[in-house]
Amino acid sequence: MSPVSGSGRLVLAATPLGDIRDASPKLVEALRTADVIAAEDTRRLRSLVAALGVTPPGRVVSFYDQVETSRLPGLLESLRGGATVVLVTDAGMPSVSDPGFRITAACVAEDITVTCVPGPSAVTTALAVSGLPSDRFCFEGFPPRKQGERQRWFAGLAAEQRTCVFFESPHRLAATLADAAEVLGGERRAAVCRELTKTYEEVRRGGLAELAAWAEEGVRGEITVVLEGAAPVEAPSLEVLVERVLELVAGGERMKAAAAAVAEAAGVSKKALYDAAVSRP
The CATH number assigned to the domain holding 171 equals 3.30.950.10
Tell me, yes or no, whether 233 lies in a domain: no
Same domain for 107 and 57?
yes
**Contact call for residues 193 and 224 (beta carbons, < 8 A):** yes
Report the pLDDT value the prediction gives residue 265, as an integer from 0 to 100. Answer: 83
Domain annotation covers residue 262: yes
Neighbours of 241 (CB within 10 A): 21
Nearest to 78 by CA among 116, 41, 30, 110: 110
Q: Are residues 54 and 142 in the same domain?
A: no
Same-domain pairing of 137 and 208: yes
Q: What is the pLDDT of residue 6?
A: 55
pLDDT (0 to 100) of residue 268: 86
Answer with the one of 120, 143, 167 that is the final residue of a domain.
120
Over the stretch 23-65, which tens digit does the pLDDT of each residue have? 999 999 999 999 999 999 999 999 999 999 999 999 999 999 9
Sheet containing 84-88: which strands, arranged edge to edge? 59-62, 36-39, 84-88, 9-13, 113-117
In terms of domains, do 182 and 116 share one? no
78 and 102 assigned to the same domain:
yes
- Average pLDDT of the chain is 94
Residue 164 forms part of a structural domain? yes
Do 104 and 127 fall into the same domain?
Answer: no
For the segment 95-125, what is each residue's pLDDT rounded down to a tens digit? 998 999 999 999 999 999 999 999 999 999 9
Q: Per the domain annotation, does 263 fall within a domain?
A: yes
Same domain, 198 and 256: no
Low-confidence ranges of the chain (pLDDT < 50): 1-5
16 and 73 part of one domain: yes
3-class SS of residue 263: helix
Domain co-membership, 127 together with 220:
yes
Residues 13 and 100 both lie in one domain:
yes
Query: If we measure between CA atoms, which residue out of 216, 213, 193 comes closest to residue 203?
Result: 193
Query: What residue numbers bound the domain in which 139 lies?
Result: 123-227
Q: From CA 159, how far away is CA 269, in angstroms rounded?
A: 22
Please report, for residues 22, 149, 219, 243, the alpha-carbon distance to residue 255 in angstroms, rounded to integers and kept in the order given: 65, 40, 57, 12
* Phi, psi for 9 (deg, rounded to 5): -145, 145
* Pairing mode, strands 9-13 and 113-117: parallel
Residue 17 lies in a domain: yes
Task: DSSP for 223-259, please give it.
Answer: EEEEEPPPPPPPPPPHHHHHHHHHHHHHTT--HHHHH
Q: Which of 89, 120, 151 is the last residue of a domain?
A: 120
Other beta carbons less than 10 A from residue 30's beta carbon: 22
Domain presence at residue 2: no
Residue ending a domain, among 57, 92, 120, is 120
Partners of 191 in beta bridges = 205, 226
CA–CA gap between residue 51 and residue 46 (Å, rounded): 9
Report yes or no on 4 lying in a domain: no
Count: domains in the chain: 3
The DSSP H or E segment spanning 60 is strand 59-62
Task: Answer yes or no: do 64 and 162 share one domain.
Answer: no
CATH number of the structural domain spanning residue 61: 3.40.1010.10
Residue 232, domain member (yes or no): no
* Residue 129 CB-density burial (10 A; 0-12 exposed, 13-18 middle, 19+ buried): middle
> What pLDDT is stored for residue 120 in this prediction?
94
Q: Are residues 37 and 140 in the same domain?
A: no
